[in-house]
Structure 1
Amino acid sequence: MSLRSFHIVFITVCTLLCAFLVVWAFVLSPEPSAIATTSGILGIAGLLLIPVYAVMFLKKATKLHL
């Protein structure tokens, strides 16, 4: 597995973990708390920012022929 492929898989796994964090914090959390809400907000930030990073990485990797 090349470094580029590994990076793409790692980005995908991180995005899925952020999605799980959001679902846990806002749907599956046993009781609402500040920690759960903060985790959910950070998960949403990850869901928004990690795909942006992935697009930037893919453009740069294509440009560098990785």
Structure 2
Amino acid sequence: FEIGEVLYYFQYQVGEGEPSTLAMVSVFGIPDREILQESFGTVWIARQGEAGIRVIRVQSIQSVVAMIPF
């Protein structure tokens, strides 16, 4: 899985079909493995936007978390 910040939500419709609800997401980079391991998987330190920006379907969002500046 990946962690990202939703920048905004929007709907997109192709032709006569049902509109799809999408999200523009700034994806965080890979977490610092050393800190992740030393904290037994509880502290994730990653750089915001390091993995780019992408559009995803809102149905693919699995959970909501807080990423506190470090």
Same fold (TM over 0.5): no
Q: Could you state the TM-score of these two structures normalised by the residue count of structure 2?
A: 0.24
Higher strand fraction: Structure 1 or Structure 2?
A: 2
Q: Could you state the TM-score of these two structures normalised by the residue count of structure 1?
A: 0.25
